[in-house]
A and B are shown apart, each in its own frame.
Chain A
Amino acid sequence: MKTTQILIAGFGGQGILFAGKFLAYKGLLEDLQVSWLPSYGPEMRGGTANCNVILSEEAVGSPIVTDPDVLIAMNLPSLEKYESTVVPGGQIYVDSTLISKKVERSDVQVFYIPATKMANDAGVPTLANMVMMGCVLKNNPELTFDGTAETMQKLVPAKKANLVELNMKALEAGRDYAG
């Protein structure tokens, strides 16, 4: 595995930071070097939130994602702001329930997932973030769905164990989405 730079962006409250934490923990359990860097400004309160995750076999240099290999856009401002930064050949994942605009670039791989609708339909309306993650794990060649349940158990505190199942439901919905 090379160094993979991942940028997750959307509104505050969509679970952007949690989604990033999930990927970071997953990398940790796979013995990778990882870094997780949140936006921590006032924008977290309902404005835009983003999260930089780097997974690498070598020590992570700068933890700041400047040229993402993977962009996960969960609102329109995020797509518009970061579309141009994705490396050629990279991947863009778009929550198509919330973003009707299409990606303009032709040198990247694009996945449109109606994640917010799928989360609602699955009875886990707050977990569109994890629907997106399920889709990313399935479609990114550097990542794998294996070990997901283990990661969730590590990530969710014991007293909220019931959330593991709900998160897994969302992740599996994302994984099984046929487009």
Chain B
Amino acid sequence: MAERVLMKGNEAIAEAAIQAGCRHYFGYPITPQTEIAAYMAKKMPKIGGTFLQAESEIASINMVYGAAAAGMRVMTSSSSPGISLKGEGLSYIAGSDVPAFVVNVQRGGPGLGGIQPSQSDYFQATKGGGHGDYHMIVLAPASVQEMASLTIKGFNLADKYNMISMILADGTIGQMMEPISFEDVEVEHYDKPWALTGTECKRKHNIVNSLYLQPEVLERKNFERYEKYKVVEENEVLYETYMMDDADYCVVAFGIAARVAKNAVVAARAEGIKAGLIRPITLWPFPKKVLRDAADQVKSFISVELNMGQMIDDIRLATECRRPVTLCNRVGGMIPSPDQVLQSIREAAKGGN
């Protein structure tokens, strides 16, 4: 086994990105993710890569668009308000079908909000964020190790499907240190015959573009893109289940909320309540099937989120509202305690739904 080192979640993302072959980072600093930029600033010049602190988030996402169009492995990172600024660029990248890797280490919102951890950009990440019909692959790490492994996976998936993949983390996972080793995900390589690399007068020139003024063509582009999304939904869903085999009550949580929820599930089991946990790792594609199946087994669901209830809608859709879903949450930078989650599980059990 490779040596375990202690790293901050943000640093783990940066190191994993470099190991995944990313040599171009464009960003603009914002708490709580600035360690990513700092790490890149230190390392990229030494390995022949580019670190560029742009004049704004809008500039940095468009630099990502340019490098992506040239077929480079490229990334940017920001936190909630900064991701909003990148929204237009994300839509252009999605509309051009080029791969890019984006990190959102979320903080409390809306507006400038605060700098403490949050999950309130779930809608923005999973339902669009920019304008138009598009999806990003959204990965939700719950540990520093996953910050690294899902980063490498994110680059792979982006190239495989010519899509944006986004790490949706939060201030806690970004700032915390845990032991980590770099060995568990393989870097994949994909040909990019569409990339703008110069024709050398040997081939027809490539065009990367999101402008289609003929509605028939634009419609076809959208249909084709959604055919691709269907393949992603069929093949790339990731989730973890914990103590679900005989569970009567299913807690659903991702990221840091899932870490807290796991403690609560253990505590509930100690009280004789059969609780279990489903942790979506991909938020898009959402793990619909495992939740649909769980609805045949459990009496109710408890969605634990650091927002006013966003993933809860996807749980209801996935389970077709066949079981009650309650919300256990804190917002604005607060994190529910294991006791608060336990209390929600107890209430579900008392309700006997």
Contact = CB atoms under 8 A, between A and B. Distances in A.
**A and B associate in one complex:** yes
B260 A40 contact: no
Q: Which of A33, A61, A66 has the most chain B CB atoms inside 10 A of its CB?
A: A61
Contacts, number: 59
A61 B176 CA distance: 13
A35 B176 contact: yes
Interface stretch (A21-29, A90-98, A101-109, A123-131): A21-29
B178 interface: yes
Interface of B: 4, 6, 31-32, 115-116, 171-172, 175-179, 256, 259-260, 262-263, 266, 335, 337-339
Contacts of A38: 175-176
Contacts of B172: 37, 63-64
Contact of A63 (B31, B176, B339): B176
Q: Is the interface of A mostly helix, strand, loop or mixed?
A: mixed
B263 A36 contact: no
Q: Which of A24, A25, A40, A42 has the most chain B CB atoms inside 10 A of its CB?
A: A40
A41 interface: yes
Nearest to A25: B6
Contact of A24 (B115, B177, B256, B263): B177
A62 B115 contact: no
A35 B177 contact: yes
A61 B115 contact: no
A160 B263 CA distance: 40
A37 B176 contact: yes
A153 B116 CA distance: 33
A35 B178 contact: yes
A61 B259 contact: yes
Interface string A29-57: 00001111110111000000000000000
A22 to B, nearest CB: 11
Given A28-B6, A40-B32, A41-B115, A64 B260 contact: yes
A36 B339 contact: no
A66 B6 contact: no
A61 B31 CA distance: 25
Contacts of B4: 28
B6 A36 contact: yes
A36 B176 contact: yes
A163 interface: no
Contacts of A41: 115-116
Given A62-B262, A64-B172, A64-B335, A21 B178 contact: no
Contacts of B260: 61-62, 64
B262 A34 contact: no
